[in-house]
Structure 1
Amino acid sequence: MYIITGQTATGKTNLAYELAKKHKGEIINFDSRQIYQKLNIITGKQVFPDVKTHLIDIVDPKEQFSSFDFANSAKRIINYLIRHNIMPILVGGTYLYLKHLLYGIDTKVPADWKLREELGKKSVKQLQDILKKHSVQTFERLNQSDRNNPHRLIRKIEIYSTHLTFPERKKTNYFPGKYNYKLIGLRFKSNESLKKAIEKRVEQRVRNGAFQEVKHLIKQGYKSTDPGMQTIGYKQLIQYYSGTISRDEALQQWITKEVQYAKRQYTFMKKDKNIKWKSI
Structure 2
Amino acid sequence: MKIIIITGQTATGKTSLAVKFARKFKGELVNCDSRQIYKYIDVITGKDKRLLKTRKIWLIDLIKPDQYFSSFDYKESALRVVKDILTRRKTPIIVGGTYLYLKHLLYGVETENIPPDRLLRRKLANKKVENLQEILRILDVPSLNRLSHSEINNPQRLIRKIEIIKFRAKRQHIEPPRFDIALQKPKNENIIILPDYLRLNSINFKIIGLKFKNNDDLKKAIEQRVEKRLEQGAIEEVKNLLTIGFKSTDPGLKTIGYQQLINFLEGRISKEEAIKQWITKEVQYAKRQYAFMKKDPHISWREV
> Could you say which TM-score interval applies, normalised by the shorter chain?
0.7 to 0.9
**Residue in 1 aligned with 2:74?**
70
The residue identity in structure 2 corresponding to 1:208 is Q
Instruction: Select which of 21, 24, 27 maps to 1:25.
Output: 27
**Residue in 2 aligned with 1:134?**
145
Give the Cα separation in 2 of the matches to 1:211 and 1:275: 36
What SS does structure 2 have at the residue aligned with 1:5? strand
1:116-149, Cα deviation, whole Å (9 max, x unpaired): 9xx97x9453333537633123x7359957336x
Instruction: Select which of 7, 12, 16 maps to 1:10.
Output: 12
After superposition, the Cα gap between the structure-2 partners of 1:273 and 1:141, relative to the gap in structure 1 and judged at 3 Å, is farther
Give the Cα separation in 2 of the matches to 1:156 and 1:224: 26
After superposition, the Cα gap between the structure-2 partners of 1:140 and 1:157, relative to the gap in structure 1 and judged at 3 Å, is farther
Instruction: Select which of 191, 195, 211 maps to 1:187.
Output: 211
Structure 2 matches for 1:201-212, cutoff 5 A? 201-212=225-236
Give the Cα separation in 2 of the matches to 1:254 and 1:212: 16
Identity %: 49
Give the Cα separation in 1 of the matches to 2:291 and 2:168: 23
Structure 2 matches for 1:175-254, cutoff 5 A? 175=198, 178-254=202-278
Instruction: Select which of 281, 291, 294 maps to 1:267.
Output: 291
Give the Cα separation in 2 of the matches to 1:86 and 1:66: 27
CA RMSD of aligned residues (A): 3.0
Q: Are 1:21 and 1:51, in contact at CA under 8 Å, matched by a contact in 2?
A: no
Question: Cα distance, 1:81 vs. partner?
Answer: 0.6
1:240-278, Cα deviation, whole Å (9 max, x unpaired): 111000000100000000000000000110110100001
After superposition, the Cα gap between the structure-2 partners of 1:141 and 1:75, relative to the gap in structure 1 and judged at 3 Å, is farther
Question: Cα distance, 1:175 vs. partner?
Answer: 1.3
Structure 1: segments with no counterpart, 5+ residues: 162-167
Question: Cα distance, 1:171 vs. partner?
Answer: 3.8
Give the Cα separation in 2 of the matches to 1:145 and 1:127: 7
1:212-256, Cα deviation, whole Å (9 max, x unpaired): 111111111111100000010011100111100000010000000
